[in-house]
Structure 1
């Protein structure tokens, strides 16, 4: 029993081992803490995409906190029902008892709200439960408890700032805010954890040189799914035009990532009709998950190409967006330790944001090259903002979401005792 808990807690120490220098979770938490500090200072200037990125991070932190105590309880008891299968206690009681028994984890427990009214056990009930609790032969690892406490405090900072940022967006750009308000909710970004890997057999023979569709058209198709295309609009509307664009093969970069995003939002919104009406014979029986795997396999191909080219500055944003989206979609091979190390290296150590050093360090000629490439792909982020300190709102958003994905995957899903980091 003790060994199981220690193996669980080892996930909170050095998780990102394998290729190159190991990355400790404390280093990842420091990077996220700096980014959250930047968000707290600059939320009035950050656009909607940026706020969504920090909302996704907040959702991932919430899942991690909720899962931590559950897994620790299971490790100590071998399952909540193993104490006495004939007696049922509310789950919150078990959290309470666990906090009492493990003094080193009390710093986490103090940050949790009190038990809900009506669920708090009486003194007699607590005494009986503690009497039946198995003898403790181990204690909570102090470093692990400290890490979880830091995540909880980071969540508390994010909660307040996200509320203020949403209010600011509603005031400054009400129509755009109304169109995408549902995705500002941290709870919106919840997908089943079914881990998969990409396949080289699914990559396109070639990518198109220009974008498959404009950002405006992508926004319109997503709004039809969300039901925000008008006040009290019907959700899950899929036009033939949107279906054909979002299932078109050969798209690259932002068009490709938005195809995946379209399917993911459809899944989170509960839209089961995206592929209804498909008339192409070879695709009639294809599922949404099959399309997602094709998209992520090609996004993997693009990311590997960016890596092999030495990560040109103009690829940083889409590189991290690919990791963010495909990681959320369940493709674990995007969580490479070398890519994590690269993302951490791109963070501005002074401001905590991303994209700042690139604008300062590159010459005007290189900046013109970036603009030419963006024009070639016809991807103009209409509401992307380079902030007064040179930071990129969109790049910071995709970076923190990607880093939150690493924290999510390696702390809770990967069995580090059996599967080495690829």
Structure 2
């Protein structure tokens, strides 16, 4: 069965019913088996979701708060998944380095599980931060997004320095009133800046408390608008061409509830998206497992 379909169905179950981690774990075991069988065909966009999943599961284990007859076996299953994900990720990274060395070198840092360091607690979205209106089209395309990300990572050229900033990247990545995929890329830009401690994009010399507060403020703005977009998609019965966007927003860990959805093939085709065995999209599978990891972390540590 298509692992993205499994993940999508499980997301519906968890959001609409009292959470049962055994169902989430079952879906993640199937998705991990898919990862193990197709790792050498995935690119960076496909693997990064499994790395994020590994980080989420590892964090859940350190904060595990469940008790009862199933808690011990569930914890062991999470531990087994972490080991399997790490083993397969190492093989996937070796394959990517051979198959697409240029793109791999540009983004290999996000494939390290330590890149996805997770902080305790959950940010609350705020409806007062929702834009009154948004742009009719994306604020920038994926090529511009990639260029801005690599300037922060320091992979924009061989032996490049990190935290390079341009007026174009600053204005686009911090722009308000952007919609859809631009929002999630703006959020990722902030995550990269925070990880690399690029305080200069805020005009600061060091990543001090003021810089951190600015990042958190923009994160809250972007996430609040991503949540609003997800609610609109849910209220519109999950149009097939918006389901990939819904999952990409949900992956960040801000969890809408009460939705009903039906899986169909998304209309939007991402630039580097691959369709693998069974017609499965590597990108949709990636964001789906990342979203499920967020559900497991939320319910396993609450």
Could you say which TM-score interval applies, normalised by the shorter chain? 0.7 to 0.9
Deviates more, 1:294-303 or 1:268-277: 268-277
Tell me the distance in 2 between the aligned counterparts of 1:209 and 1:141. 50
Secondary structure of 1:233's counterpart equals coil
What residue is the counterpart of 1:419 in the other structure?
A: none
What residue is the counterpart of 1:392 in the other structure?
A: 281
Deviation at 1:227, TM superposition (A): 0.9
1:313 to 1:180, Cα distance in 2 relative to 1, 3 A: same
Of the three residues 96, 109, 115, the one matched with 1:169 is 96
What residue is the counterpart of 1:294 in the other structure?
A: 221
What residue is the counterpart of 1:280 in the other structure?
A: none
What residue is the counterpart of 2:255 in the other structure?
A: 335
What residue is the counterpart of 2:26 in the other structure?
A: 30
Secondary structure of 1:322's counterpart equals helix
What residue is the counterpart of 2:9 in the other structure?
A: none
Shift >6 Å, 4+ stretches: 16-19
What residue is the counterpart of 1:106 in the other structure?
A: none
Of the three residues 136, 139, 144, the one matched with 1:217 is 144
Task: Mark the runs of 5 or more structure 1 residues left unpaired by the alignment.
Answer: 1-15, 73-139, 278-283, 328-333, 347-357, 360-366, 375-379, 415-422
1:19 to 1:145, Cα distance in 2 relative to 1, 3 A: closer
Whether contact under 8 Å (1:180, 1:228) holds in the other structure is yes
Task: Mark the runs of 5 or more structure 2 residues left unpaired by the alignment.
Answer: 1-11, 205-210
What residue is the counterpart of 1:44 in the other structure?
A: 40
Deviation at 1:246, TM superposition (A): 0.6
Matches within 5 A, 1:91-102: none
Tell me the distance in 1 between the aligned counterparts of 2:104 and 2:39. 15
What residue is the counterpart of 1:151 in the other structure?
A: 78
Deviation at 1:195, TM superposition (A): 2.6
TM-score by length of 2: 0.87
Higher relative contact order, chain-length normalized (CA < 8 Å, sep 6+): 2
Tell me the distance in 1 between the aligned counterparts of 2:167 and 2:118. 26
Of the three residues 166, 186, 194, the one matched with 1:267 is 194
What residue is the counterpart of 2:178 in the other structure?
A: 251
The answer on 1:411 being equivalent to 2:295 is no
What residue is the counterpart of 2:272 in the other structure?
A: 383
What residue is the counterpart of 1:105 in the other structure?
A: none
Whether contact under 8 Å (1:191, 1:268) holds in the other structure is no
Matches within 5 A, 1:8-19: none
Secondary structure of 2:203's counterpart equals coil
Whether contact under 8 Å (2:183, 2:226) holds in the other structure is yes
Whether contact under 8 Å (2:16, 2:258) holds in the other structure is yes
Residue by residue, what CA displacement relative to the aligned partner does 1:37-75 show, whole Å, maximum 9, x if unpaired?
11111112222111000011111122222344xx69xxx
Of the three residues 115, 140, 150, the one matched with 1:188 is 115
Whether contact under 8 Å (1:227, 1:235) holds in the other structure is yes
What residue is the counterpart of 1:65 in the other structure?
A: 61
Whether contact under 8 Å (2:56, 2:118) holds in the other structure is no
Tell me the distance in 2 between the aligned counterparts of 1:192 and 1:17. 26
Deviation at 1:238, TM superposition (A): 1.4
The answer on 1:311 being equivalent to 2:200 is no
Tell me the distance in 2 between the aligned counterparts of 1:155 and 1:200. 35
What is the total number of aligned residue pairs between the two structures? 285
What residue is the counterpart of 2:132 in the other structure?
A: 205
Tell me the distance in 2 between the aligned counterparts of 1:289 and 1:303. 21
Deviation at 1:197, TM superposition (A): 1.2
TM-score by length of 1: 0.63
Q: Which is greater in Rg? A: 1
Matches within 5 A, 1:47-126: 47-68=43-64
Whether contact under 8 Å (1:17, 1:337) holds in the other structure is no
Secondary structure of 2:40's counterpart equals coil
